[in-house]
Structure 1
Amino acid sequence: MTTGNATDVRRARALLVPAGVALAAGAAVAFVGAVDPNVPGHYPTCPFLLLTGLYCPGCGGLRAVYALAHGDPVTAFGLNPFLVAMVPLLAFLWGRWTLRSWRGGPFDGRAVRPVYVWAFLVSMILFWIVRNIPIGEFLAP
């Protein structure tokens, strides 16, 4: 085996995990796109909504994914703007991870800085709170 061939094999193996994640995400989107969450009985009710009567950050997420899978980003944004806003970010992070894997970089916690993780968590919690108070009713699904 030549050195170039060994590098190609190593790179191909390094891409297996990012490709598997993309395949799993694609399969999940395809499933939600095929099984309409707007039809009662296809999916369980959100446990947080059921117990508290309040919307969680994910409420409307399945219907938003369904709308995105059917090419309707406006409806998706109306159902869960936080999720829709995260799609480009997740695509960027996945692309960065894939490129890092291709180049032989390590898969470690330094791929995303802690400040970004904290910013995401704070944003999600703020979204969660605001969508449940009168001023943020427009954020409710």
Structure 2
Amino acid sequence: MTPMSSVTEPGVASGAPPAWAPPPAGPPPPQQDRFTRYLQRRWRESPVWAAPVAVLACMGASVGYTLAVHPTEAAAGAAPTCLLKYTTGFLCPGCGGTRAAWYLLHGDLPAAARHHAVFVFAVPFLLYMYVAWAGRRLFGWQLPQLQLSPTVLGVFIAVWGVFSVLRNLPWAPFTSLYV
């Protein structure tokens, strides 16, 4: 005779609760709203190349825009202008980024860093992250993924914030950061 604890119901794997057992206690799983379910369904049904191509199209559009407007020769009040700088006179955290991108596209690294050093620092990492992600998704490449911890992101945002404050200070040596 077998002990009662070793008897299992037919068709149920050992360790799994039997069909007649009550559901486990605890809160029910959260229900997602219709919009989230729609987006997740669209993501599952979309072709594997759609997301990398969409990101590449956005990057191409921003490069095309930067090359078309020639931001290094724009007048102070020329459109588009930074609303924060236009109304307060302060440089926003992204101020100089378009000019830095223009100089990077033309291979002038010192001038790009002069306009926005944090942006110039971040660009190679962002490009690598895109190539590693798109390569894995499209071609199965096994490039190492950059794992950005919350600490790394926090330090980056703090450095960007300090840089943004320092470039608005009206005395030397910080006036050299004003663009």
Indicate the TM-score class for this superposition, using the shorter chain for normalisation: 0.7 to 0.9
What is residue 18 of structure 2 aligned with on the other side?
none
Which amino acid in structure 2 is aligned with residue 35 of structure 1?
Answer: V
- Higher alpha-carbon Rg: 2
What is residue 39 of structure 1 aligned with on the other side?
74
Cα distance in 1 for partners of 2:123, 2:99 equals 14
CA contact (8 A) 1:33 1:65 kept: no
What is residue 107 of structure 1 aligned with on the other side?
none
What is residue 136 of structure 1 aligned with on the other side?
174
1:69 aligns with 2:105: yes
Cα distance in 1 for partners of 2:174, 2:128 equals 28
- Where do 5+ consecutive residues of structure 2 fail to align? 1-46, 142-146
How many Å apart are 1:86 and its aligned residue? 1.2
Judging by fraction of residues, say which structure has more helix. Answer: 1
CA contact (8 A) 1:81 1:139 kept: no
How many Å apart are 1:42 and its aligned residue? 5.1
Q: 1:89 aligns with which of 118, 121, 125?
A: 125
Which amino acid in structure 2 is aligned with residue 138 of structure 1?
Answer: S
Q: How many residues align?
A: 125
Cα distance in 2 for partners of 1:39, 1:57 equals 19
Cα distance in 2 for partners of 1:138, 1:69 equals 23
Which amino acid in structure 1 is aligned with residue 92 of structure 2?
Answer: C
What is residue 25 of structure 1 aligned with on the other side?
59
- Where do 5+ consecutive residues of structure 1 fail to align? 1-12, 105-110
1:112 aligns with 2:148: yes
Relative contact order (C-alpha < 8 Å, sep 6+): which is higher?
Answer: 1
Q: Indicate the SS of the match to 1:14.
A: coil
How many Å apart are 1:44 and its aligned residue? 2.2
Which amino acid in structure 2 is aligned with residue 79 of structure 1?
Answer: H
How many Å apart are 1:88 and its aligned residue? 0.7
After superposition, the Cα gap between the structure-2 partners of 1:70 and 1:22, relative to the gap in structure 1 and judged at 3 Å, is same
Cα distance in 2 for partners of 1:95, 1:136 equals 36
CA contact (8 A) 1:64 1:75 kept: yes
Query: What CA RMSD, in Å, does the superposition of the two structures yield over aligned residues?
Result: 2.5
TM-score under structure 2 length normalisation = 0.60
